[in-house]
Structure 1
């Protein structure tokens, strides 16, 4: 039997501690609000104006979602301005959780008055936000890159006061660097999930269960978004497969339409956090597994998702619901008694089926993409338990699941980069699609 060394176990635990954090609403507008709140804090006075420079992927993922706790307002200007009027920078991805009616009203007033200017930043990382504020006496700038709370530069009155190269002076702003995702392997993470002392991770997992189940229930109870979860249960019945898909979709229904409940994220995404959690909870109840078995299954789900997404990067044209659904399918296979071979088969079957779903920004239809991805993952699990697998040489599928994962990583990070660019052009009306017909 393959056995990981203690240092490797510590690395997996550190990865989980970095990844499984609470976030309120879609993480891209929240990251903008965080940058704005941090810039205001650095400015030291009330801002008179803010300019936000964003990468295309940030623009894409903020355009169609309601900013949580904003009273139904949408867009980059709202996210940045609410970060100014009601943000608390120390809360990071829950930065606007305490925004009140006064902050929301002031946000609406400032946005209408032209307080915020937005620019498209080119030749920057896929995840990039620069928030520049001007007051009566000072200016300040905060730049975030690569990760949603990863501040790489801060400047006041044009003088740099923090750069990531000198992060020791500001450890709270340092990049996510204590864990090494490049050392992950499927076999290693499965060994970790099977043998780690659960006391090291139970608090993280309980919070994930509690938060993500709550927003899913909210999506089922009320008319959020496109009502994908509710529609499925009303139309397809309530067997275990439908419940697993619908519960995941319902969480996204609520989250994408401005629900203020927090989500424990995965790979920087609340939708991915929901997807790795809810199907596993549904099948754990169906299989009547112990709490310990559920915890270990959630470790499988979270780590498989993080592992696959590591090769793709934080934002791309590749829909992250697919990598998260791979994690959920792997965990369901694990709870059903599947060994490493069958878990690998589940991942391969999922990627061979829905690996081409594109991301055209965060919005209510993300719930439907989650539904499609989880459906594919459940089919993949059912195939794997019957020893049925897509074969090497069929499309992107390789003999070794690790190579298949790397193939999808290359496609998502490199191959789909031009697609990502053109999706953005369509979304911001920079192309005449009729001229291409």
Structure 2
């Protein structure tokens, strides 16, 4: 392997480090919890009440998800626990150190009717949360927009004490900017030739997400899909093979994630489920093949960076379930482990685009594990087809003759026509509140 890192490879590594991070709890309610924690950190007294405003898409992804450690779903408990027990310096792990006492006090604040979460509509930002936290007459507010942890304004006692300078921001280097001028072939070259020492860090994704998977197999979390399928496997209804292990272990991690387990996931593109989906299938295949750590790291890097590359062409949140695009990354990683050819990777991704491209995102909830299991099952099927040199072709549907064009077609749907679908989904969900 080459010991030289060219400038573009350095940018690839920075892109992965930006998008692959530990996160405790679903990242949309956690984003609101972070805003509340940062606001509360500006106050000296006990929190007395909270008012918050969130974008429709953040509301969609916060309605049905369990907040870690609380046994409760929804944005209000995330806001309350963020303000009372959150660590303002911990980013997406803001609730990691929340104590039992903080959880009790957060629930008491909620039960007293002192937490209000409102819809900010219209809203220019897909990801947006503004939290105003009060301690008696004192108040502080924090606005996060354009990213799960991107603070754009802090107001203390009615006076702005921080405002993100957009002109100054425009002069900074976007760590994801390299993805606008790259290809899957270049990503594969980087993965195969970069020094192991430069990419070894991605192994932490396997460690964190496998721990979540093991927890999910306890059967205590969410819809316990992984544990249920494992049980049916033991009864002889499901085969004990690599494909079944991929579905079981990946969905188990999502069960634990969405069910409120107090273990962090290694996220991808701001989503724990995407990180799980990009990690677990590759880990299962790597274990089956008994590969060494370096080979596993290269396969994980290919999976995660491919997933980031595809998702970067999408809105941050949309009507397209992003477990599908994360599973396309997993398909790339698995195909590389089993075959090694670029053509096999391209064929597997194209087949997936022809298979699961219509799966909608109807908010974060326990049922995300169902979509995760479907996506990784599609990935494995697509890889098996690629090993036999067969795939969905450019003569069929939205799939093109070139995989890059196929990806562009998929992303065009999410960026354009599926925006109307997203609005309809949010309208349906809002009517249930």
Same-fold call, TM cutoff 0.5: yes
Instruction: Report Cα offsets for 1:274-304 as digits up to 9, x if no partner.
Output: 1111111110111222221111100110011
For normalisation by structure 2, the TM-score amounts to 0.93
For normalisation by structure 1, the TM-score amounts to 0.92
Deviation at 1:234, TM superposition (A): 2.6
Residues 215 and 255 in structure 1, CA contact (< 8 A), matched pair in contact too: yes
Residues 151 and 175 in structure 1, CA contact (< 8 A), matched pair in contact too: no
Q: Hey, what does 2:358 align to over in structure 1?
A: 356
Deviation at 1:167, TM superposition (A): 9.1
Deviation at 1:175, TM superposition (A): 9.0
Q: How many residues align?
A: 422
CA RMSD of aligned residues (A): 2.0
Q: Which runs of 5+ in 1 are unaligned?
A: 432-437
Q: Hey, what does 2:174 align to over in structure 1?
A: 177
Instruction: Report Cα offsets for 1:73-95 as digits up to 9, x if no partner.
Output: 22111000000110111011111
Q: Secondary structure at the match of 2:90?
A: helix
Residues 49 and 109 in structure 2, CA contact (< 8 A), matched pair in contact too: no
Deviating more after overlay: 110-119 vs 126-135? 126-135
Q: Hey, what does 2:411 align to over in structure 1?
A: 409
Q: Hey, what does 1:435 align to over in structure 2?
A: none
Q: Hey, what does 2:121 align to over in structure 1?
A: 122
Deviation at 1:142, TM superposition (A): 1.0
The answer to whether structure 1 residue 51 and structure 2 residue 48 are counterparts is no
Deviation at 1:44, TM superposition (A): 4.5
Q: Secondary structure at the match of 2:89?
A: helix
- In structure 2, the CA distance between the partners of 1:430 and 1:84, relative to structure 1 (3 Å rule), is closer
2:299 to 297, 300, 314: 297
Instruction: Report Cα offsets for 1:145-202 as digits up to 9, x if no partner.
Output: 121111112222333222221697xx9xx99933423233211111111111121221
Q: Secondary structure at the match of 1:208?
A: helix
Q: Hey, what does 1:190 align to over in structure 2?
A: 188
Deviation at 1:310, TM superposition (A): 0.7
Where in structure 2 are the equivalents of 1:257-272 lying within 5 Å?
257-272=259-274
Q: Hey, what does 2:64 align to over in structure 1?
A: 64
Q: Hey, what does 1:165 align to over in structure 2?
A: 165
- In structure 2, the CA distance between the partners of 1:137 and 1:177, relative to structure 1 (3 Å rule), is farther
Q: Secondary structure at the match of 1:77?
A: helix
Q: Secondary structure at the match of 1:62?
A: coil
Instruction: Report Cα offsets for 1:90-113 as digits up to 9, x if no partner.
Output: 011111111112111101110011
Residues 164 and 175 in structure 1, CA contact (< 8 A), matched pair in contact too: no
Q: Hey, what does 2:106 align to over in structure 1?
A: 107
Q: Secondary structure at the match of 1:312?
A: coil
2:27 & 2:135 partners in 1: Cα distance?
27
The answer to whether structure 1 residue 219 and structure 2 residue 216 are counterparts is yes
Instruction: Report Cα offsets for 1:299-320 as digits up to 9, x if no partner.
Output: 1100111111111122111101
Q: Hey, what does 1:152 align to over in structure 2?
A: 152
Residues 203 and 300 in structure 2, CA contact (< 8 A), matched pair in contact too: no
1:175 & 1:352 partners in 2: Cα distance?
38
